Structure 1
Amino acid sequence: MERIDRLPDLNSICFAYPQKTKPVSVTGKQCELNCAHCGGHYLQHMQPLTAAATADSSLSWLVSGGCRADGSVPVGEHLDKLAAIKNGRRYNMHVGLVGEADIDKLAAVADCVSFDFVGDDTTIQEVFGNGRTAEDYIKCYQSLRRKVRVMPHICVGLKGGEICGEYRALELLQELGAEAVTLIIFMPTRGTRFADRKPPAITEVARLMAYTRLNFPDTPVNLGCMRPGGRYREEIDKWAVRIGFNSIVNPAPAAVELANRLGLTITRGEECCVL
């Protein structure tokens, strides 16, 4: 499903502050997979679907949840309820390796799907341990794109801070097609199996970001919300501005200042960068 509304304008940048997108989990705080980089930590900050208010000020929901052991997020069980309470808001849905049976129903409810795209078998086994392969991610991505708007995400340094397979993932997306590409960056997280690891080197990430921009010249490229903070974030965000990324979520103030100094046209978003 190929649909590019406009070519990226390298003289402008969107800074997204997604206060009007509510994160909602269909599994509450539960996750069977217990991935090495997350361990269910990020579910703790999401509102369970069972408690989500149907009348609120949010313009959109990020609908996600913990994974089953096979790498799928069980959104299929909740699609009827999500459709009934949508009330004009938009849904960005994170579904993992969703099965074919759910894709048709998903397409009727989701405005877009954020899909974690992984191109390396060893990374999949070390991080997820779910017996899946890169080919499974390719097939699921292709199946989703035939039915719904899909936004691939690549986590830089997913293998405990090591860059391994990210360039291959980008090559695959060039072959398969992508409406947009979002990069996020591995964050060592307390209580996970990768808690003692370090984020990938800033120079390596910047090189990968430049490669992405050069190899997707006609495709919007985003820097997503998941990335380390502090000086690391400041440097990465400034590189994103210099390289010509189209949007940055919750940018460091130094990156905003740089964009102003460079004379870029700045717009402000209030929802997920892919919406």
Structure 2
Amino acid sequence: MRFAYPHQTKSISVTGSECEQNCAHCSGHYLKHMLPISAIKESHATSFLISGGCKADGTVPIGQHVSQLKAVKQGRRYNLHVGLIEEDEVAKIAEIADCVSFDFVGDDETIHEVFGLERSVSDYIQCYQKLREQVKVMPHICIGLHGGQIKGEYRAVELLQELGMDALTFIIFTPTRGTPYADCLPPNIEEVVKLLQWARETCPLVPIHLGCMRPGGRYRSEIDEWAVKIGIDTIVNPTPKAVALAKELGISILRSEECCVL
């Protein structure tokens, strides 16, 4: 089991704190703590998450910054979060991407309500397929994205099985102050555990990661311990109890200092 502590991966926003899409679960909140592209050149980090706010059509405008990003890469690795990228942009970002993190959604209503997009699951399928033709893609599924409800996550896993995947990252909806979903609750722990167990059994040969976004406190501690018991391959920033449990169970532990998809 790998425990990832991504100190060597810094987050970059190509749009600053601006986001046209203004999703119900984020509203641009997480962009505020990200660095500008100009910070890459002087950074001692070994890798970078390149992301940013979405345009109104659901794309993150990384393509227009490829030349600038290429110039400062200097042997470091890039994990790109591109949104619903258009086909002509895929070749551009393929020039610099070591990996692409792609949010995969399995429910049309969730796409409409959370993202405010008049798009469908088929759009996500097509985009995922186009990306896989040219770059390494790490699909991400947010458990409880629909305001804490589990809705479409099982279908998302099934679709990814059909389409093919090298690995799968789960994150968990976290209510965030100042967003439309601020007063929602995280998804029920028992339902999350059930989904993770099913995914592990359904995809026994696919490396499964529990990513950095998940609620804190007792919720996080309980989820992390279950992740150890279930046999999740990677946990990002695991709680001390989860680490202790892994050692108690005699699990061989690997430690990494970068984003779990790299």
Task: Give the TM-score category using the shorter length.
Answer: over 0.9
Is this contact kept in 2: 1:72–1:96, CA < 8 A?
yes
Report sequence identity in percent: 62
Partner of residue 188, structure 1: 175
Matches within 5 A, 1:187-206: 187-206=174-193
Partner of residue 233, structure 1: 220
CA offset digits 1:207-259 (Å, max 9, x no partner):
00001111111110000000000000000000110000110000011000000
CA RMSD between the two structures: 0.6
2:22 corresponds to 1:37: no
Matches within 5 A, 1:1-275: 13-49=1-37, 51-275=38-262
SS of 1:192's equivalent?
Answer: coil
SS of 2:32's equivalent?
Answer: helix
Is this contact kept in 2: 1:29–1:48, CA < 8 A?
no
TM-score, normalised relative to structure 2: 0.99
AA aligned to 2:166 is E
**Equivalents in 2 of 1:58, 1:118: separation in Å?**
31
Q: Once the 2 structures are TM-superposed, how far is the Cα of residue 53 of structure 1 from its aligned partner?
A: 3.7
**Equivalents in 1 of 2:203, 2:34: separation in Å?**
32
Q: Once the 2 structures are TM-superposed, how far is the Cα of residue 55 of structure 1 from its aligned partner?
A: 2.8
Unaligned runs of 5+ in 1: 1-12
Is this contact kept in 1: 2:40–2:73, CA < 8 A?
no
**Equivalents in 2 of 1:260, 1:202: separation in Å?**
23
Unaligned runs of 5+ in 2: none
**Equivalents in 1 of 2:39, 2:87: separation in Å?**
27
In the alignment of these two chains, the number of paired residues is 262
Q: Once the 2 structures are TM-superposed, how far is the Cα of residue 130 of structure 1 from its aligned partner?
A: 1.4
AA aligned to 1:206 is V
AA aligned to 2:80 is M
TM-score, normalised relative to structure 1: 0.94
**Equivalents in 2 of 1:223, 1:241: separation in Å?**
10
